[in-house]
Structure 1
């Protein structure tokens, strides 16, 4: 059985996913708060960061989270951030929306702490 808290978080991110493309200026602050909250579980932070980046967040947020990998306490979150940005740089620019994400990821990638990260 799925714990209620996991179900609630899943529902929350589903709703945020739909809203972040319609009103990103209202959703981005929520996602930034979740992704940057070191007291949150890494899974919640990673989901928030992935959604934030895929919703075409401003370049400043890409750079903020890329540079935060140097000081990040959670190796899991730092590794995810590195992998996510690196993967986006290597996406095929098949649609104009991806081209913009690739460009933002390309600017942010040099700021990310180099891999490999070892997980405990």
Structure 2
């Protein structure tokens, strides 16, 4: 009986594990496809600027396009970090306001109010 119960319970766990692995593999392909598309766009941009493949101008242009993309990614990460810090500050403010509200209720009841620092 225990063996049957284990098999019944193990099936969903195995299914979830397989789905997680497949999802992660799909995400890797998507990243590779995005990088390939970005390189293709960069190449097209450089060609439109007049740089021919195989020349130093083309190489310089491709490096500039990569640097532009890296800078944009860095800015996006900085914005995300700033948003996370703001969210953390907001959560702390909400916590403190709730604590101060409860401390005020405790004062009105004649109890020692909690410390909200």
Q: What TM-score comes out, normalization by structure 1 length? A: 0.27
Structure exhibiting the larger radius of gyration computed from Cα positions: 2
Structure having the larger proportion of residues in helix: 2
Q: What TM-score comes out, normalization by structure 2 length? A: 0.27
The answer to which structure, 1 or 2, has the higher relative contact order (CA under 8 A, 6+ apart) is 1
